[in-house]
Amino acid sequence: MTTAPQIRFFDRTTPPHVATLVLLAGIPALNMSIFLPSLTRMADFFQTDYATMQFAVSGYLAATAVLQIIVGPLSDRFGRRRLMLVSLVVFIAATIGALFSTSIAAFLGFRILQAVVATGIVLSRAIVRDIYPPDESASKIGYVTMGMAVIPMIGPTIGGILDQAFGWQSSFVFLSLAGALVFVFVLFDQGETGQPGGITFADQLKGYPDLLRAPRFWGYALCAAFASGSFFAFLGGAAFVADTIYGLSPMLTGAALGAPAIGYALGNFLTGRYAVRYGIDRMTVVGCIIGIAGLAVSLALSVAGYNSAWLFFGFSTCLGLGNGLTLPNATAGLLSVRPHLAGTASGLGGALMIGGGAALSQFAGTLLDVESGTVALQALMLVSMVLGLASIMVVLWRSRQLARRRKA
């Protein structure tokens, strides 16, 4: 569309209001983070170890990675509104199933099924592209993704307070009520915005060989995967660190887990302000360096014996700041390598990023014990961020090669 249509709140004959889109993007972030302060108590409840319980994070991420690829084509075929309503019904049912689970196998099954709510992340952005012209879409997407940045700050705190007051199950009661609220918003406010003739699975698959042969795509995609993998490793182990190693209460654990999101929000702000001036490659490199510097200092202090919750979680804000600079710019880069394959690149890049995060998150859960302390987790996060920097250096090397060829 060349001009934005008139939008009336709670009128499904018009496209959805931006508030509804914020909720669509925000509830997957809430679902990801709210129960993290409760992981160790949930492991005790289900009589399992922390590494197995942590699959509630990594398995969820793996399912989300698959959804990154298939949601777009499905919504093109069946419609954005219909797919979102079905996804929310499945999410609410899965949340109630997780709430009443009595075995770890049943809980993890329902937890992975909850990943269907990640449809909201994909479709909220797609809907913005449907209804707004290019010069407005970036601004609107900024509002939409604001929910994804803010909610991880408050989600663990909410979960920690609920756990401390009522037990870990209360977080899933809260999630089911939140899902029902978003369902009402979608039902009465989200008009259909999809247009027929979108990209099919077959068309998407045809674009893969061209992307996979492009070194710059791999550089950007792996940079995003390793940078986000460092954060997902943090998610995989930080609850154990806060609860078992530092002995924080559920409420303080929730607050501590939100520390990286503070840096991430600042990084997103700086990206919006300076990306055009300095370019996406330079911003990506700076983000990686900031993340590496913060993690390296944190690891060095721990090895030297200066270890406390304030230091561990305080320096994790540097990881968040680095990712806030790295991820938006690396994502913009992978979309620009083959502009005619932007949709395919978005799905494949997102799958690599979330899938890699799932693997590192699960690995982090297996590394931790009281004797090793935080060092193993800090080292894993640092190595992942260094690999992210190495990946973006491949992009710079390839860009110089292409520039020399054009001059010749």
Alpha-carbon distance of 273 to 122, in angstroms, equals: 24
Q: What's the predicted TM-score (pTM) here?
A: 0.77
Cα dist from 345 to 127, 200, 338, 358, whole Å:
18, 14, 8, 20
Neighbour count for residue 175 (Cβ, 10 Å): 26
Angle of CA points 386, 390, 392, to nearest 5°: 115
> Of all helices (H) and strands (E), which one includes residue 291?
helix 280-303
User: Which DSSP state fits 340?
Assistant: G
Place of tokens 């360096």: 289
DSSP of 21-83, one letter per residue?
HHHHHHHHHHHHHTTGGGHHHHHHHTT--HHHHTHHHHHHHHHHHHHHHHHHHHHHHH-HHHH
Tokens of 374: 């935080």
User: Is the pLDDT at 195 greater than 80, yes or no?
Assistant: no
Take residue 112 and report the two structure tokens written for it: 């992975």
Q: Which amino acid is at 316?
A: S
Average pLDDT over residues 48-76: 83
Burial of 127: CB neighbours in 10 Å, binned 0-12, 13-18, 19+:
buried
For residue 43, give Cα distances in angstroms to 38, 57, 238, 255: 9, 13, 15, 20
How confident is the model at residue 1, as a pLDDT?
Answer: 45
> Each residue of 145-159: b (16+ CB within 10 Å) or e?
bbbbbbbbbbbbbbb
Is there a contact between 164 and 254 (Cβ–Cβ < 8 Å)?
Answer: no
The tokens for 200 are 């099919």
Token pair of 357 as six digits: 């995060």
- Residue 275, both tokens: 């990306």
pLDDT of residue 2: 46
CB-CB contact of 267 with 330 (8 Å): no
Cα–Cα distance between 265 and 29 in angstroms, integer? Answer: 14
Per-residue pLDDT of 265-296, as tens digits, reads 888 788 877 877 888 889 999 999 999 999 99
pLDDT score recorded for residue 186: 92
Average pLDDT over residues 80-104: 94
Question: Both tokens of residue 134?
Answer: 């290019």
Domains of the chain by start residue, with CATH: 14-189 (1.20.1250.20), 199-408 (1.20.1250.20)
Q: For 223-244, what is each residue's pLDDT tens digit? A: 989 998 898 888 888 888 888 8
- Contacts of residue 346, Cβ cutoff 8 Å, sequence gap at least 6: 68, 72, 331, 334, 335
User: Please, what is the average pLDDT of the chain?
Assistant: 83
With a CB cutoff of 8 Å and minimum separation 6, the contacts of 384 are 226, 227, 229, 230, 233, 360
pLDDT of residue 106 exceeding 60, the answer is yes
Within 10 Å of residue 196's Cβ, how many Cβ atoms? 7
Report the largest interatomic distance among the alpha carbons of the chain, rounded to a whole angstrom: 69
pLDDT tens, residue by residue, 39-50? 888 999 999 988
Label residue 55 by pLDDT band (50, 70, 90). Answer: confident
pLDDT in tens, 123-179: 877 777 677 664 455 456 656 666 666 676 678 888 989 998 999 999 999 999 999
